[in-house]
Amino acid sequence: MSTHLWTPPQRQGADELDESWYARSLPRFATGYFLLGAVVVAALLHLILGVGVVLAILAAWVLFVVALSITSRFVEGGRKSRDRLATSLVCSAFLIALVPLATLLYEVVSKGASVLSAQFFTYSMRNVIGEGGGIYHALMGTLIVTALTALMSIPIGILTAIYLVEYGNGRLAMAITFLVDVMTGIPSIVAGLFAFALFAIFFGTGVRMGFAGSVALSLLMIPLVVRSCEEMLKLVPNELREAAYALGVPKWRTILKVVVPTAMAGIVTGITIATARIIGETAPLLIICGATDSTNLNPFSGRMMTLPVFIFDQYRNPGIPPQFYVDRAWGAALVLTMIVMVLNLAARLVSYYFSPKTKA
């Protein structure tokens, strides 16, 4: 019996197959060159032909996208070309989304930064006409109203979320979910009117107080807290609950010591972002907290200034010359933006430090 090794049949076009693994591609920085070209074209259009800036940028952008994908079509083929087209469109959308944020920050910082001073933070507007004065009363008002809002909304929101995720099934849970969804969509002015109507029952129609403002803001904050906490609690794997049950741990202790700690990072982040979201609310506070030039640290009596209302008030009722009032409005806007930014950064840090560690 003769042995011979089996040799595979020579396949037709095997060389071509190997060839096809190597595709031609544009040089590494092709996108950069095309972008540079587009910028040059935009500059030429603007400087030589006198085309408007926006139109020139738009034309250059169209040129960039079209030229890049057509060149790629001929050099690299259809799939790479479509990839480059999609990549440029996605990146363009991102840049467009960034434009309002960047310009807003620039505007607020450039107009507000010059106003900030020790006096700006420590003086109220009492007896101030024209230059001087500060936001002390509004800053304290915002902090007090927001703290009270958080104090009311966080427990109610977290407990509602725990009910929905851990206990709720059937009609009641569905009804609560529906109502929370509806509450998420309540216009803030309606929340203000509700608080006004509610407190008018007890204190008469002229009522203005900081606490009523936090009641109005709570209506807006609770659904945000419920929603974010609910999502976070749902992310906790069921296996952890079962692991705790199997050790003979009662349900309430499992929730308190396993489920909530595991979801803590997300819960705290959600709460911080909800706080940042309501701290800039203006409409309800305008109705129920009112506006004042004096410092009022008692949330249960009398008008209380807050930063959003302060900004509105400085713009709405400027004195003569109006410049000082407009400057103060921008300064207050910058402070408010900074508070929101600090809250968001805090949320990031919190989620970093609270999240369960897996690395040794």
Partner 1 sequence: MAKSIDVSDLDIFYGSFKAVEDVTIPLAARSVTAFIGPSGCGKSTFLRSLNRMHEVIPGARVEGKIVIDGRDLYDADVDPVEVRRQIGMVFQRPNPFPTMSIYENVLAGKKLNGKRMDKATADGVVERSLTGANLWNEVKDRLKKPGASLSGGQQQRLCIARAIAVEPEVLLMDEPCSALDPISTSAIEDLIHELKESYTIVIVTHNMQQAARVSETTAFFNLAGTGQPGRLIEYGPTTKIFSNPDNPATEAYISGRFG
Residues binding partner 1 (CB under 8 A): 169, 237, 239-250, 253-254, 257-258, 261-262, 264, 356-360
Q: How far is the CB of 256 from partner 1 (least distance, A)?
A: 9
Q: How far is the CB of 176 from partner 1 (least distance, A)?
A: 17
Question: Smaller CB distance to partner 1: residue 7 or 238?
Answer: 238
Q: How far is the CB of 252 from partner 1 (least distance, A)?
A: 10
| The length of the chain, given as a count of residues | 360
Q: How far is the CB of 329 from partner 1 (least distance, A)?
A: 46
Q: How far is the CB of 268 from partner 1 (least distance, A)?
A: 14
Q: How far is the CB of 355 from partner 1 (least distance, A)?
A: 9
Question: Smaller CB distance to partner 1: residue 79 or 234?
Answer: 234
Structure-token pair, residue 125:
């507007």
Q: What CA–CA distance (Å, rounded) separates 44 from 188?
A: 49
Burial class (CB in 10 A: 0-12, 13-18, 19+), 360: exposed
Listed in sequence order, the residues at least 6 apart from 292 whose beta carbon sits closer than 8 Å to its beta carbon are 137, 302, 303, 304, 305
Q: How far is the CB of 354 from partner 1 (least distance, A)?
A: 9
SS3 label, residue 209: strand
Q: What CA–CA distance (Å, rounded) separates 352 from 348?
A: 6
Question: Smaller CB distance to partner 1: residue 121 or 167?
Answer: 167
Question: Smaller CB distance to partner 1: residue 95 or 243?
Answer: 243
Neighbours of 339 (CB within 10 A): 19
Question: Smaller CB distance to partner 1: residue 254 or 275?
Answer: 254
Q: What's phi and psi for 235, nearest 5 deg?
A: -75, -15
Question: Smaller CB distance to partner 1: residue 8 or 248?
Answer: 248
Amino acid at 335: V
SS3 label, residue 357: coil
The DSSP letter of residue 34 is H
Listed in sequence order, the residues at least 6 apart from 154 whose beta carbon sits closer than 8 Å to its beta carbon are 225, 271
Question: Smaller CB distance to partner 1: residue 245 or 300?
Answer: 245
How many helices (H) and strands (E) the chain has is answered by: 15, 0
Q: How far is the CB of 255 from partner 1 (least distance, A)?
A: 11
Amino acid at 324: F
Concatenate the DSSP letters of all residues of 100-118 into one string.
Answer: HHHHHHHHHHHHHGGG--H
Question: Smaller CB distance to partner 1: residue 160 or 262?
Answer: 262
Distances in Å between the Cα of 55 and the Cα atoms of 46, 52, 94 are 9, 5, 19
